Amino acid sequence: MATPSAYAVERQTALQMLYRVSDAMTIGICGILVGAFWFPAGGLGNAAPVHGFLTAFCAVAALIVFPAFGLYESWRGRSGAALALRTVAAWSVVAVSGLVLAYLMHQVGQVSRLWSTSWFLSVIVALVGARLVLYRLLGNVRRQGINAKRVLIFGYGPLGSEMFRRVQRIPAAGYQVVGIFCDNEDETLPEGIPVLRAPQEISAFVREHDVREIWLTLPMAACRDLCDVVYQFRNDLIDIRWVPDIMSVELLGHRFSQFLGLPVIDLNSPPDMRITGVLKESFDRTFAAMALLGLAPLMLSIALMVKLSSPGPVLFRQKRLGIDGKPFNVFKFRTMVVHQDHVVKQATRDDPRVTRIGAFLRRTSLDELPQFLNVLRGEMSVVGPRPHALEHNEMYKELIDRYMLRHRVKPGITGWAQINGLRGQTDTVEKMRARIEFDIYYIRNWSFRMDLSIIARTALHGWTGKAAY
């Protein structure tokens, strides 16, 4: 006799097949409708044969390519934006494959650019729009408790309680916690949820309450218990999710990857930017070139004033650490008289070493403008943690936890710490610790939009500061 779970699997398989066919039909219908618009005399039937071929080929190819991108997997608990991006990527692969095939058949010259562009964009709108509407509808249904997956949380420490709070906070994900296993009598547990204290109780509870998923939220030291739970349910058709306790490791970030053919968790890696990283790099170089060109008259004027203010070079060069600790020479307009310091000393209020024009440049951060040359050379970014003197790195890395993690990305001309008032002199460890916390936050939460916001805020009111001497 088939179980309810077996019926659910069969129903899900049928829905996935229907979903695939509907996507293929959407691609075909969009091609026909766009053809009717651009070829009013007879639609695709009156256009070059390659148009009909591309429409049919891409519709069939989607049946093969889209599943490889995971478009028909359950999207519970994941963002709609990620679903949209994956859909666009899958359709782009299919469309490009069709054009490549047309090229190999020596027919690409017959393809109408207007038709192909309109078709490509209309399919994106149709596929992404349909998925987001369905995503929203399913979310509304799950908020009512319909189609909710019943979950048992195994382990209720800080990680388990955080998972429980997220389930309560995001009802659209469609999860219902029906039980908690916790052998610690001192833990404060949520009211109204059955609590299991002995591992022997789990199997019967899972079967009696139709639990569909077990979330393992154990600390890293309890790996043996994790193996026992997986073995206990080796013959049950139930999803077991292990939520690694990476929250207890206060490093830079984490991501899952493949290494030598095995799955690994990178615990101390910078954000995986990929395409957005290329965008940031391109933006940095372009912005730096435009800034140097547009500010050339101002920079030449400053250079002349620096040269006339006191003997010595116009530009000041000093070693700094770049990405992954690689040293480079940072450029600034010289703001002090030429002197020899055996130990790097930060400028202070009324510092006798600072020239009159230098005081103005430091107060307005105009002495930093030559660093656009560093950005153009790829040594710095427009936005990022400010580079510190090497001697300060050696001192503070022993006093402040995670201090050196700021060097996992390129240093910047401006940064998250600077627009939040943390610029200028750091004469106490507490001030430097606050700056480092802002730098780590920026690295962990980086986005291109965040960079644009920091640049805009710097341009409006981020050039001066009370602690800039």
pLDDT tens-digit series, residues 37-61: 998 888 888 889 999 999 999 999 9
Confidence band (pLDDT; 50, 70, 90) for 2? very low
pLDDT band at 274 (very low <50, low <70, confident <90, very high): low
Tell which of 120, 143, 166 closes a domain.
Answer: 143
Residue 359 near residue 311, CB atoms below 8 Å: no
Q: By CB neighbour count within 10 A (0-12 exposed, 13-18 middle, 19+ buried), where does 314 fall?
A: middle
232 and 301, same domain (yes or no)? no
Reported in sequence order, the residue ranges of 55-174 that DSSP labels E, i.e. its strands, are 149-154
Residue ending a domain, choose from 143, 166, 188: 143
The verdict on 94 and 161 lying in the same domain is: no
Q: Are residues 157 and 100 in the same domain?
A: no
Mark which of 195, 230, 248 sits at the end of a domain: 248
User: Would you list the DSSP string of 53-85?
Assistant: HHHHHHHHHHHHHHHHTTTTS--TTS-HHHHHH
Same-domain status, 44 and 125 = yes
**What pLDDT digit, counting tens, does each position of 179-209 carry?**
999 887 777 888 889 998 888 888 889 888 8
Query: Per residue in 10-35, pLDDT tens?
Result: 566 677 788 899 999 999 999 999 99
Query: DSSP assignment, residue 390?
Result: H
C-alpha 434 chain-centroid distance: 23
Structural domain boundaries, residue 73: 4-143
State the total domains in the chain: 3
Asked if residue 316 and residue 208 are part of one domain, the reply reads no
Looking at every residue in the chain, the average pLDDT score rounds to 84
Contact between 393 and 384 (Cβ < 8 Å): no
